[in-house]
Amino acid sequence: MSRLNKVFSSLKQDNRKAFIPFITAGDSGIENTFELMQSLVNNGANIIELGVPFSDPMADGPVIAKSHERAVADGISLRDVLGLVRRFRKSNTYTPIVLMGYLNPIEVFGYEDFANQASQAGVDGVLVVDMPPEEAHDLKHLLNIVGIDFIFLVAPTTTDYRLKLLSKIASGFVYFVSLKGVTGAGNLEINSVNEHLERIRKYIDLPLGVGFGIKDTDTAKAVSKTADAVIVGSSIVSFIEKHAKHKDKMINAVSKFAKEISSSIN
C-alpha cells in the first residue's frame, strides 16, 4: 500500500480529515523549506505538497506566483527539490510528499529519469498542473512502474465526461479546485463545494482534497465536513514571504497557523 493510501485509510478509520499544506520548495532557501516541512509535520500536516519552482506559473495567483519567482531567482531546480525530499526521508518515512508544479521542468529532466529519481528520493505523488489526462499517457505509464501516484485537479467547470476520463488515470487523491480562478483567489462557497464533491464522488472513487481559497480556520472547518482533505497554500506562503529574512518568526508563524488549521478540521 502506498504512503498516500496508508494515510488516507488510517485517517478514515479514525473518522479524521487530512491537512495538506503547500509550500514552494526553496522559497527563502532550501534549508528553510527543510525546517518548515518538519514544523508542518509537527503541527498536524498529514501530507506535504511541495511546489516545484517554475518561471511561468500560469495557474497560480500573485502570492504563490511570487514564491515561484523567488525560488527561480535563487536557482532552485527540480533536481534540488528531489534532493530536499531525499533529505527529508532520512528522518521521516511516513509523511507523504506530493510534488506540485508545471510540466516544463519535468519535460527537460526527462520523464523516465524523473520517475526513477523521484521514486528513489521518496516522492509519493506528482501533480502536474498543465498536463491534462489527454496528454498524460506516457508520464502515467512511467509513474505507475515506480509506484508514484498521479494526482489531478478537478475544477468546478469539469464536466461529467471529463470526470470519467480523470477517474481512469488519477490515483492517490483528487484535488478539487474550490472556485473559478487561480490559487489564493476569492472566497469559496461551501454549498457549491459540497454539491461538486457529491458529483465527483459519483465518478471517482478516491479521497477528495479541496484547495484554492481556504484562508482561515472557518473555511477549513466548513470544507472538512465533506472533503477528505483540506489543502492550504497561499496563506502559508504569505507567512514565508512576510518573514523571509527572519527564519524563527517564519517557522513560528507557519507552525501556529498549521496547528490552528489542523485542530479546526478534526
Partner 1 sequence: MSYSLPDDKGHFEQYGGVFIAETLMTAVTELQQAYEKYKDDEEFNAEFEHDLKHYVGRTTPLYHAQNLSNKLGGAQIHLKREDLNHTGAHKVNNTIGQALLAQRMGKTRIIAETGAGQHGVATATVAARLGLECVVYMGEVDVARQSLNVFRMKLLGAKVVPVSSGSRTLKDALNEAMRDWVTNIDDTFYIIGTVAGPHPYPMMVRDFQSIIGKEAKEQFDKQVGGLPDALVACVGGGSNAIGLFYNFIDDKSVSIFGVEAAGYGIEKGPTAHAAPLCAGSVGVLHGNRTYLMEDENGQIIEGHSVSAGLDYPGVGPEHAYLKDTGRAKYVSITDDEAIEAFHLLTKIEGILPALESAHAVAYGVKLAKKLPKDKHIIINLSGRGDKDIHTIAEIEGIKF
Q: Which residues are catalytic?
A: 49, 60
Interface residue with partner 1 among 6, 9, 56, 94 (CB under 8 A) is 56
> Looking at 29-37, 88-96, 157-165, 253-261, which segment touches partner 1 (CB under 8 A)?
157-165
> Looking at 20-28, 35-43, 152-160, 244-252, which segment touches partner 1 (CB under 8 A)?
152-160
Cα–Cα distances (Å) from 37 to 12, 22, 85, 95, 251, in that order, read 23, 10, 10, 10, 10
CB 259 within 8 A of CB 44: yes
Tell the residue number behind the cell numbers 472557518, with chain if given.
218
Interface with partner 1 includes 14 (CB under 8 A)? Answer: no
Cα gap 110→264, rounded to integer Å = 41
Whichever of 168 and 249 has its CB closer to partner 1, that residue is 168
> Looking at 37-45, 76-84, 92-100, 222-230, which segment touches partner 1 (CB under 8 A)?
76-84
Whichever of 7 and 154 has its CB closer to partner 1, that residue is 154
Task: Give CB contacts under 8 A, 24+ apart, made by 34-38.
Answer: 34/84, 34/87, 34/88, 35/247, 35/251, 36/240, 36/250, 36/251, 36/254, 37/84, 37/88, 38/88, 38/91, 38/92
Cβ at position 142, least distance to partner 1 in Å = 16
Interface residue with partner 1 among 90, 159, 191, 245 (CB under 8 A) is 159
Cβ at position 72, least distance to partner 1 in Å = 6
Interface residue with partner 1 among 4, 36, 50, 78 (CB under 8 A) is 78
- Interactions with partner 1, residue window 198-257 (CB under 8 A): none
Cβ at position 99, least distance to partner 1 in Å = 14
Whichever of 104 and 116 has its CB closer to partner 1, that residue is 104
Interface with partner 1 includes 150 (CB under 8 A)? Answer: no
Interface residue with partner 1 among 35, 74, 112, 130 (CB under 8 A) is 130
Mask of contacts with partner 1, 97-126, x by CB under 8 A? -----xxxxxxxx-----------------
Q: Give the binding site for partner 1 (CB under 8 A).
A: 53-62, 65-66, 69, 72, 77-79, 102-109, 129-132, 134-135, 152-155, 157-159, 162, 166, 177, 180-182, 185
